[in-house]
A = this chain, B = another copy of it.
Amino acid sequence: MGIAEQIQTTLDGRWGEVRQQLRAQLDPDTFGPPAGLIPLDEHRQRTLDAVLQMTKTDAPRDGLTIEQGGTNEHGASVTAFEMLGHADLSVYVKAGVQFGLFGGAVANLGTQRHWDEYLPGMLDGTLLGCFAMTETGHGSDVQSLLTTATYLPDSDEIEINTPSLPARKDYIGNAARDGHIAAVFAQLVVDGENHGVHCVLVPIRDDSGEPRDGVTIGDCGAKMGLRGVDNGRLTFDHVRVPRLNLLNRYGTIDDDGRYHSPIENPSRRFFTMLGTLVRGRISVAGGAGAATRTALTLAITYGLHRKQFTAPDSEREVTILDYRGHQRKLFPRLARSYALMLAQNALVEQMHRIAAGEETSEEAQRELEARAAGIKALTTEHATDTIQVCREACGGAGYLSVNRFADLKADTDVFTTFEGDNTVLLQLVAKGMLTGYKEAFHELDTRGAFFFGARQVTEAVIERTIGGSLIQRLISGSPGRDADNALSDRGGHLDLFEDREKHLLETLAMRLRRAGDDDADGFTVFNDAQPHLLLTARAHIERVILEAFVSAIDATPEGEARDLLDRVCDLYVMSTIEENRAWFLEHGRLSASQAKGVTASVDELCDALRPHAQTLIDAFAIPMAWRETELLEFLGETSEDDGQGVARRSATQDEAVSAER
């Protein structure tokens, strides 16, 4: 097995076999982007056809438990859908709506009767559904949705109503054209009392495809991207459905018309319900990561072939990937893509353990939600940034639709704000950290430990779910933060990332405590601290990502592949520190000369990774058929390389690694 294949094994992770299957199964003619701009309705039909093809794979069924008619292979399911992120992203999103959001709502918020009635049609595509949560007036603040679901005891029905224009359900995938039923989130009112947001299944089209009485369906029309997804708008005019259409796992109306819930506190109930839907967020990060890897593969391939300007005192034209400026654009982003992919793998494993019932603690679920939010935010932000840079790295050729960046960019653009706006998600992460901090504080306090510093509290609150003992060992073995070689040791890196997170959390907690003061305006205190709060969430997720990277390297057999991964990890570490070095300088964590050293080492790592660029993109193992473009057209003519050359050079690079060591 070559170096690239060995690295691929690490990147593919626990469900590598599923990835391999999908690499073979996803026929580009069906799942790939259409050739050129086709009429909107044709693109929508094509997307639907591909989604229906997915029903023939294991992926949808793998995402359900045995009782739900599935196989309980949740990790395999999410991994399979992630692979669609390399295909036409419209297929990826529409499949996500059908199997992930609609199917997920029925599976996670419903009970056996819903599973029996709706999941078979969801699985085989005979029942196409929508996930109607967002309204024109409320997206991030789901608790404030305006749509109502009022129980009518006389007819034993629930009446769904859109009370005002901002209450219109908006941007709903599968609504404009194909969906026949919608999982509608609405304020549940029973006997005059509002029990908060619940989900009700509402048929929206009849068998002939016409909107049902009382349902008005609009079309969101042209969007920046995702042309194949039929986003629409739903307005309900006192539409009645049977009481049993309430997805009633967390709140039910009994035969006597009384509301019951296993969770007393309405706010806790709401967040528990929302928490079960975490898989959608995880999938978005997966798809964004896949699209980013496609873009990097294309741009680095182009960089390996395109030449421009001759070197001084030479007739030789320079390959653009040899320019430090060009390497600086692509390599740190490549390293970050590695880091994010490995963190995503760890996240999917964590999700799988909980979904499969292997892990059941509330803490584990809470941590999963926070981590999913954070990784979704950082991965989608990275996608937008990196795909942009990749486009620019291919110049005018990058601007032509045939070369894929146009779609990659436009399709993934909305990922930063759907399934949770990134800023709101990072706030969620920070709030979770603060809760943990408060609890640890309280716990230490009640244990009688009156005299402890903030640091002890954060020590207690830092959780190392990924590779805990390994990370602890590395940190303990590191030379210490003040040592000269602190920056050249993995334990020192981990320590630095963790120390930053702790300091940010401690000082954030102190700042926010002021909100409790009598004369303080709670909103002003929060608002002034918002940038600090967002930074704290980032620092936390950066640490989690690094731990996932380090753990994955540790699980890779010793040898050249592992050594190369280690250097990619170095680049992730150094470029992350470089980006944040102002903070490290301001807080006395790095001296000026150390900070300059970080910049120098990013340069050195770019140089060191340059000969392995082909290997590092080969390890993504994106089938050639999925990345056909005209990017290399005619470049061969002026280049010494041909297609063969790339393959040959890849081998030579592996030899070079050996030679260097």
Enumerate chain A interface residues (CB-CB to B < 8 A).
Answer: 36-37, 40, 134, 136-141, 144, 164-166, 168, 170-171, 220-225, 308-314, 317-318, 322-326, 328, 384, 388, 391-392, 395-396, 398-402, 405-406, 409-410, 413-414, 416-418, 421-423, 515, 522-523, 526-528, 530-531, 534, 581-582, 585-588, 592, 595-596, 599, 603, 633-635, 637-638
Q: Which of B137, B141, B401, B596 contacts A223 (CB 8 A)?
A: B401
Let me know if A527 and B37 touch, CB within 8 A.
no
Q: A324-B527, A582-B581 are in contact. Are A634 and B166 (CB under 8 A)?
A: yes
Q: Which of B166, B324, B587 contacts A592 (CB 8 A)?
A: B587
Q: Which residues of B contact A138 (CB under 8 A)?
A: 308
Q: Which residues of B contact A416 (CB under 8 A)?
A: 392
16 other A-B residue contacts (CB within 8 Å) besides A139-B396, A224-B400: A136-B634, A139-B395, A140-B309, A144-B317, A165-B634, A168-B634, A224-B406, A225-B399, A311-B522, A323-B530, A324-B527, A392-B417, A396-B417, A399-B413, A586-B592, A586-B596
Q: Which residues of B contact A170 (CB under 8 A)?
A: 396
24 contacts across the A-B interface (CB closer than 8 A): A36-B222, A136-B634, A139-B308, A139-B396, A140-B395, A144-B309, A165-B634, A166-B634, A166-B635, A170-B396, A221-B402, A222-B401, A224-B391, A224-B409, A224-B410, A311-B522, A312-B515, A324-B527, A324-B531, A392-B422, A396-B414, A398-B417, A399-B413, A582-B582
Q: Which residues of B contact A137 (CB under 8 A)?
A: 634-635, 637-638
Q: Which residues of B contact A409 (CB under 8 A)?
A: 224, 413
How many angstroms from the CA of A416 to the CA of B398 in the assembled complex? 12
Let me know if B423 and A399 touch, CB within 8 A.
no
Q: How far is the CB of A465 from chain B (nearest CB, A)?
A: 28
The list of the 9 closest CB pairs from A to B, nearest first, reads: A224-B406, A222-B401, A312-B522, A582-B582, A311-B523, A165-B634, A585-B585, A171-B396, A324-B530
Residue of B nearest to A588 (CB): B592
Q: Which residues of B contact A414 (CB under 8 A)?
A: 396, 399
Residue of B nearest to A314 (CB): B523
Q: Which residues of B contact A398 (CB under 8 A)?
A: 417
Residue of B nearest to A138 (CB): B308
Q: Which residues of B contact A592 (CB under 8 A)?
A: 585-588
Q: Which residues of B contact A422 (CB under 8 A)?
A: 392
How many angstroms from the CA of A362 to the CA of B314 in the assembled complex? 30
Q: How far is the CB of A314 from chain B (nearest CB, A)?
A: 7
Let me know if A324 and B224 touch, CB within 8 A.
no
Q: Which of B140, B171, B323, B384 contacts A527 (CB 8 A)?
A: B323
Q: Which residues of B contact A134 (CB under 8 A)?
A: 396
Q: Which of B40, B139, B328, B417 contacts A37 (CB 8 A)?
A: B40
Q: Which of B221, B313, B634 contacts A400 (CB 8 A)?
A: B221
Residue of B nearest to A633 (CB): B136
Q: Which residues of B contact A396 (CB under 8 A)?
A: 134, 139, 170-171, 414, 417-418
Q: How far is the CB of A269 from chain B (nearest CB, A)?
A: 19
How many angstroms from the CA of A317 to the CA of B139 in the assembled complex? 13
Q: Which residues of B contact A166 (CB under 8 A)?
A: 634-635, 637-638
How many angstroms from the CA of A204 to the CA of B526 in the assembled complex? 65
How many angstroms from the CA of A12 to the CA of B406 in the assembled complex? 34
Let me know if B523 and A312 touch, CB within 8 A.
yes
